Amino acid sequence: MSLKDSVQHFKTLVVSFHPVIVIETVEEERVQTLMQKACTDMQMPIFEWSIAQGLMRSPESPDNRWQNEYAPPGSKRGQALPKTAEPIDMLRHIQDMSFKAIFWLKDFAPHLKDAVVARQFREVVQQFSLNRSTIVISGSGVVLPPELAQDAAYLDLKLPEPEELMAEVSKVARSVNGKVAVELTPEVVHALVKALRGMTLSQTRKVVSYAAYHDNKLNADDVKRIIDRKAQVIHEEGLLDYFPPETNAAELGGFEGLKRWLAYARVGFTPQARKFNLPAPKGILIVGIQGCGKSLAAKTIARQWNLPLLKLDAGRLYDKYVGESDKNFRRAVVLAETMAPCILWIDEIEKSMGQSNSDADGGLSRRLFGYFLTWLQEKSQEIFVVATANDLSAIPPELLRKGRFDEIFFVDLPDDNERENIFKIHLNLRNQGLEAYDLPTLVAVTEGFSGAEIEQAIITAHYRALYENRPADTALVVEQVKRTVPLSVTRREDINRLRAIAKERFVPAR
């Protein structure tokens, strides 16, 4: 929702007798801008309250004649009303006001734990529901008591739109011009704004200013610095793992069918596709046998498309407090949207959104699953989702329905050609000359082995070669292979059952 749409939504809530509007955000600057635009149209005054300053007429309020005579010249600091710093005194004061107004209460929700404050607040709300005055509560993680929440409307203030970011970049450019070399063409400004997507206005101001003063230049080179800063923010949040394109060296042996499909899908992000009203690809689900390259496929897609890769770890979402896990998931999605275009990799999706045979999690998995389906269907950002799964029995049937993902691929144990490619990749990775190895023999003895099992056999063989101070060779690798009992033996029945299901429902990755 754009700022213009948010202003219209706010005005509609006010004129339709909503006495309480909750805006969950730390961007008080944008809340002030939103209310100023709305109240200018409605010709309503704005009052601000904080525990530190009390209640005052907002400096940005329409027709504000209340000014602090002791404020420095040129400043817009309002004059606080006496004896309004305490929540109960402030509520009683606004209850006695006889005209319509917007009352912005900053970080007010924690004060509602006091029974007297909550009761007084409720009486003010009942009065405001009749006279079109409105209380706006802002802050981070606003939680209202159940008896008050039913009267509240929640306004979702999205992160700044491109036009807001562009205006902020222009402000910074004007402020630093003459102190640093400003080299901004329309193309560079567009690239900067694209890199800044997902940041608050405060973060935008800081990161652009830092980039300018870092080398006394504001130019195209600063795009990378901004992206690095966004990656740092994601790391600090702790919900997603970030793999930048330049450090992603993943390589996939086989999967020719998947690679062909991805080559076709990539054009869905081009202007030519939009010209024909073709939707951008949503993503793919990869199911199959453990250790056969599902996770590696996600990394390889990001590498081939030269996009950042974000990994959603289900274990980091869950929180012991009710409602926090849901918020963690929504926050993870917002973080992913800030990095668009990107690849979002959800590993073992059945563990975070799978079917549960009990109510042990209070329905959390189902709520996360429902939110994910809605987001996947409606997302507008260029985020390509790569979800992987091992246990088909735990995947909700709705996820397997055509249209949820663009395609569902099945990954089987590698065939002869794929195993040969896997050996080549891992031997080259460890600086081994292929001429020293009998590849046909290695391919033959690893029938039924997964890619992960082949890799581990090579690693173990090289450990032994280093220990015995001799070069690794075919015999050493074969010996390690013969000591391994592959998953195709230990879980033969499960694999056969999975293959039977996949044959009828999914597209083979090879």
CATH number for the domain that contains residue 170: 1.10.8
> Does residue 175 belong to any structural domain of this protein?
yes
Q: Show the beta-strand stretches assigned E in 325-450.
A: 342-346, 383-389, 407-411
* 474 in the same domain as 388: no
* 14 in the same domain as 146: yes
Indicate the residue among 154, 181, 197 that finishes a domain: 154
Indicate the residue among 411, 436, 451 that finishes a domain: 411
SS (H, E, C) 465-482: HHHCCCCCCHHHHHHHHH
| Domain CATH code at residue 370 | 3.40.50.300
Distance from C-alpha of 447 to C-alpha of 198, rounded to nearest angstrom: 48
Strand-pairing partners, residue 345, are 311, 386
Q: What six digits make up the tokens of 263?
A: 């080559």
Coil, strand, or helix at residue 402? strand
Q: Over the stretch 96-140, which tens digit does the pLDDT of each residue have?
A: 988 899 999 999 999 999 999 999 999 999 999 888 899 999 987
Angle between helices 3-15 and 28-42 (to 10 degrees): 60
Contact between residue 198 and residue 159 where contact means Cβ atoms under 8 Å apart: yes
> Does residue 462 belong to any structural domain of this protein?
yes
Per-residue confidence at 485, pLDDT binned at 50, 70, 90? Answer: very high
* 474 in the same domain as 362: no
Per-residue confidence at 362, pLDDT binned at 50, 70, 90? Answer: low
Whether 178 shows a pLDDT value over 80: the answer reads: yes
Whether 173 shows a pLDDT value over 80: the answer reads: yes
Q: What six digits make up the tokens of 83?
A: 């004896």
Distance from C-alpha of 394 to C-alpha of 201, rounded to nearest angstrom: 42
* 131 in the same domain as 12: yes
Length of the chain (residues):
510
Per-residue confidence at 71, pLDDT binned at 50, 70, 90? Answer: very low
- The whole domain housing 196 covers 162-237
Sheet holding 46-50, edge to edge: 54-57, 46-50, 102-106, 134-139, 20-24, 152-154
Indicate the residue among 367, 392, 411 that finishes a domain: 411
Contacts of 210 (CB under 8 A, 6+ apart): 225, 229
Please state, as a whole number, how many other Cβ atoms lie within 10 Å of the Cβ of residue 61: 23
Element (H, E) at 217: strand 217-218
Domain count, the chain: 4
* 147 in the same domain as 176: no
Statement: the pTM of the whole predicted model exceeds 0.85: no
User: In the prediction, which pLDDT does 69 show?
Assistant: 45
Least confident of 144-153, 178-187, 325-334, 444-453: 325-334
* 368 in the same domain as 261: yes
* 207 in the same domain as 124: no
